[in-house]
Chains A and B, each alone.
Chain A
Amino acid sequence: MIVGIPRALLYYKNEKLWTKFFDELGIDYIISPETNKEIIENGSKYAIDETCLPIKIFLGHVDYLKDKCDYIFIPRIETAQDTETCLNFRAQYDLIKNAFRKYDIKLLFYNEVGHKKHKEYKAFKKLCKYLKIKKSLGKYAYQMAKQTQLYYELFRSEYQENILKNSKKIKVLVLAHAYNIGDKYVGEPILNMLKKLNTEPIIAEYFDAKRCVKESLKVSKTLPWSYNRHLLGALELYKNMVDGVILITTYPCGPDSMCDEMIVRHYKDIPIVTLTLDAQDATAGIETRLESFIDILNYKRKNSYE
């Protein structure tokens, strides 16, 4: 049995968890390649025009995997850190089922719902039952995978904080969802641009989720989306340690459309720039905006020293 994992959406959040879990159980898996122009174009064929870019990319990855494996792994995560996720994550299973009706593909999933403590483990337990794997073996695999994921996150967050404390370059906090900033086609060009401009991009997504979500309660009482709370909390925590903030959203992202407005209205004394990305790959416009933004940051820093 070969399981195909699309390299999109939740993969960037649970990369180590999924791969290690299948490794431990001895199940073969393939991961779709990094996003490229062709994948986006293929994905757009299945999607409705208005859907957001990450979903189009996701559909493209599933399209790539559809005849290369027995199962496609599409988990469904409804809640995270006591708040909801974007509605697209709830619907991805049914979306794929209906969009790829002709091809008769088999889907493998785990379903994380509710606010109980061990909801993730319970979801994996059901997955193991479906795969006809012994309970004890499944539990062991899950625990190993979870530990790997946690260590990976801890390492990432400590590494980020180290940079934040020691770097003397201009520091820019990048607020973007994991599936945007981790993507080769969407987020990486921007990070490369920032490095080229001799700045240090700090990725908000890599900070500890639990702490950030807790911190975000100070700013907003009713923000319903967990992943946006994560970003907002990171900004609240480190706003004094960075020079500027970059908001990266994809068109037309539902949660971001409202949360970004809130951020711009709430933090009035921090320089913020909003970049809205599209399926088009013209980077000149973004490059110009980033350059002028970094110029402002440089100028601001010089003035504050004098």
Chain B
Amino acid sequence: MNKDIVACFPQWGSYSCAFRYLFENGFGVKYMTPPPLTKKTIEIGSKHSPDYVCVPFKYCLGCHIEALEKGANCLMQIFGACRLNYYGELEEKILRDLGYDFKFFNMAEINFRSPRSILEHFKIVNPNMSLVKIIKSLPTTINIIKTIDKMEDYIRKNAGFEKDKNALEDTFNEFKEKLNKTQNTKQYKKLKKEYTKKLKSIKINKPHHPLRVGLVGDYYTVQEPFSNYFIEKELENMGIEVYREMNLTNTIINSKYKNSRKTGKRYVKFDIGATANYTVAEALKYAKNGLDGIIQVKSFGCTPELNAQTVLQSISRDYKIPILHFSFDSQTSETGIKTRLEAFYDMMQAKHK
């Protein structure tokens, strides 16, 4: 393993465990778990980024700067269908202007049609990497991601009703910590078995018809708990079952959203970009399944989600389902969010009875 190269990917949900496995076993470089997001991260990020760029960019930039100061020297950024496509280039420019010295692996630059281009870009991370190792480590990485998503899904649906508070969350955190030390598939499989059992054995006292809420929104905000001000936890504390389908497993690995345009055909005729079609399809599904409410979280000025918001309003009117829209910026007050959530909860409960 090459210990001089320290790779880092911005903080994104709990996936850093999976990325660590891929980089240490596949690419053969050291991986630094990104420093947890704090108020300071977003402060640094917004200081150096343009004024009204979407918030995920500010989080990524802040996270990268913090990582660079802690000793990372190989940063990376993914690509997507919206502004995300340009994140990498602008981030690199800003960081270079600040005077940092690092390698940058920008996935938007890869031409995925040519294997040579892929190989060349992989070599930015580690010049002596072996493709065989990367391919060998991929199945386990994917399995780790799937396990994380499955466990989080279970926690979201049950955390509101557990007997000892935070038991599920603590067990999951323990699992993540141990996952960060696994070196091969065998260890991971043993760990998975152990902790799945542990999670299932925690006692849960669920009423027959609990309140159910669906969470939709843009790719980063809905998945990164810090950027949506721990809205999931807030809902769980109120005793609500939270549904959320947007995660890596469903979007990239299983491509569950292949039929999203067909599902939302009545409201949306064309591909309206990025995650907007998913949002519409998901919201429609929740509405049809009789959930008590839908919450849309998005970053300020997110174009695809803004267009989806108009569509969501039509769905809300047709199915008589309340929808709460949250727009997060770098300076959103937590009390404001809490008040709105409480009012929404009261309304749902009145409707539920």
Residues from 62 to 115 in A contacting B, C-beta threshold 8 Å? 76, 78, 86-88, 90-91, 93-95, 97-99, 101, 111
Inter-chain contact B271/A48, CB cutoff 8 Å: no
Set of chain B residues within 8 Å of A298, measured between Cβ atoms = none
CB of A187 within 8 Å of the partner chain: no
Q: Nearest chain A CB to B217's CB is how many angstroms away?
A: 14
CB of B309 within 8 Å of the partner chain: yes
Inter-chain contact A48/B309, CB cutoff 8 Å: yes
Q: Nearest chain B CB to A47's CB is how many angstroms away?
A: 8
Inter-chain contact B85/A91, CB cutoff 8 Å: no
Q: Nearest chain A CB to B107's CB is how many angstroms away?
A: 10
Inter-chain contact B52/A252, CB cutoff 8 Å: yes
Stretch with Cβ within 8 A of A (4 or more), from B190-198, B272-280, B286-294: B272-280
Stretch with Cβ within 8 A of A (4 or more), from B158-166, B299-307, B331-339: B299-307
Q: Nearest chain A CB to B40's CB is how many angstroms away?
A: 22
Q: Nearest chain A CB to B196's CB is how many angstroms away?
A: 40
Inter-chain contact A94/B88, CB cutoff 8 Å: no
Q: Nearest chain B CB to A68's CB is how many angstroms away?
A: 23
* Nearest neighbor of B271 in chain A, beta-carbon distance: A90
* Nearest neighbor of A255 in chain B, beta-carbon distance: B83
Inter-chain contact B97/A220, CB cutoff 8 Å: no
Inter-chain contact A223/B89, CB cutoff 8 Å: yes
Name the contact of A48 in the complex, choosing from B81, B90, B274, B310 (C-beta under 8 A).
B310
What 1/0 mask marks residues of chain B from 32 to 53 whose CB sits below 8 Å from any chain A CB? 0000000000000000011111
| With A48-B309, A99-B310 as contacts: A261 and B269 at CB distance below 8 Å | no
Set of chain A residues within 8 Å of B54, measured between Cβ atoms = 254
CB of A208 within 8 Å of the partner chain: no
Set of chain B residues within 8 Å of A265, measured between Cβ atoms = 93-94, 97
Inter-chain contact B311/A262, CB cutoff 8 Å: no
Cα A51 to Cα B81 with chains together (Å): 19
Set of chain B residues within 8 Å of A99, measured between Cβ atoms = 310
What 1/0 mask marks residues of chain B from 300 to 329 whose CB sits below 8 Å from any chain A CB? 110110110111011000000000000100
Set of chain A residues within 8 Å of B153, measured between Cβ atoms = none
| With A257-B53, A258-B50 as contacts: A87 and B109 at CB distance below 8 Å | no
Cα A255 to Cα B273 with chains together (Å): 14
Inter-chain contact B52/A98, CB cutoff 8 Å: no
CB of A269 within 8 Å of the partner chain: no
Inter-chain contact B52/A93, CB cutoff 8 Å: no
CB of A281 within 8 Å of the partner chain: no
Q: Nearest chain A CB to B128's CB is how many angstroms away?
A: 26
| With A222-B85, A258-B83 as contacts: A98 and B53 at CB distance below 8 Å | no
Set of chain B residues within 8 Å of A257, measured between Cβ atoms = 50-53, 83, 301
Cα A55 to Cα B54 with chains together (Å): 18
CB of A306 within 8 Å of the partner chain: no
Inter-chain contact A258/B90, CB cutoff 8 Å: yes
Name the contact of B307 in the complex, choosing from A88, A221, A222, A260 (C-beta under 8 A).
A88
CB of A224 within 8 Å of the partner chain: yes
Set of chain B residues within 8 Å of A76, measured between Cβ atoms = 270
Interface SS, A side: helix
Residues from 216 to 266 in A contacting B, C-beta threshold 8 Å? 220-224, 251-252, 254-255, 257-262, 265-266
CB of B226 within 8 Å of the partner chain: no
Inter-chain contact B303/A88, CB cutoff 8 Å: yes
Cα A224 to Cα B80 with chains together (Å): 10
Cα A222 to Cα B80 with chains together (Å): 12
| With A257-B52, A258-B90 as contacts: A98 and B311 at CB distance below 8 Å | yes
Inter-chain contact B89/A48, CB cutoff 8 Å: no
Name the contact of A260 in the complex, choosing from B50, B276, B309, B327 (C-beta under 8 A).
B50
Cα A257 to Cα B302 with chains together (Å): 12
Set of chain B residues within 8 Å of A258, measured between Cβ atoms = 50, 53, 57, 83, 86, 90
CB of B108 within 8 Å of the partner chain: yes
Q: Nearest chain A CB to B149's CB is how many angstroms away?
A: 27
| With A87-B273, A91-B276, A223-B86 as contacts: A251 and B52 at CB distance below 8 Å | yes
Set of chain A residues within 8 Å of B57, measured between Cβ atoms = 258
Set of chain A residues within 8 Å of B311, measured between Cβ atoms = 94, 98
Set of chain B residues within 8 Å of A220, measured between Cβ atoms = 89
Inter-chain contact A254/B270, CB cutoff 8 Å: no
Set of chain B residues within 8 Å of A266, measured between Cβ atoms = 93
Cα A86 to Cα B276 with chains together (Å): 14
Q: Nearest chain A CB to B328's CB is how many angstroms away?
A: 12
Cα A139 to Cα B127 with chains together (Å): 55
Q: Nearest chain B CB to A140's CB is how many angstroms away?
A: 28
Set of chain A residues within 8 Å of B108, measured between Cβ atoms = 222
Cα A262 to Cα B93 with chains together (Å): 8
Set of chain A residues within 8 Å of B301, measured between Cβ atoms = 50, 252, 254, 257
Q: Nearest chain B CB to A2's CB is how many angstroms away?
A: 23
Q: Nearest chain A CB to B204's CB is how many angstroms away?
A: 39
In addition to A50-B300, A94-B270, A251-B52, 19 A-B residue pairs with Cβ atoms within 8 Å of each other are A48-B310, A50-B327, A76-B270, A78-B271, A87-B273, A87-B274, A87-B276, A87-B307, A91-B276, A93-B270, A94-B307, A94-B311, A99-B310, A222-B85, A222-B88, A222-B106, A257-B50, A257-B51, A258-B90
Q: Which 3 interchain pairs have the tightest Cβ spacing?
A: A87-B273, A91-B307, A91-B272
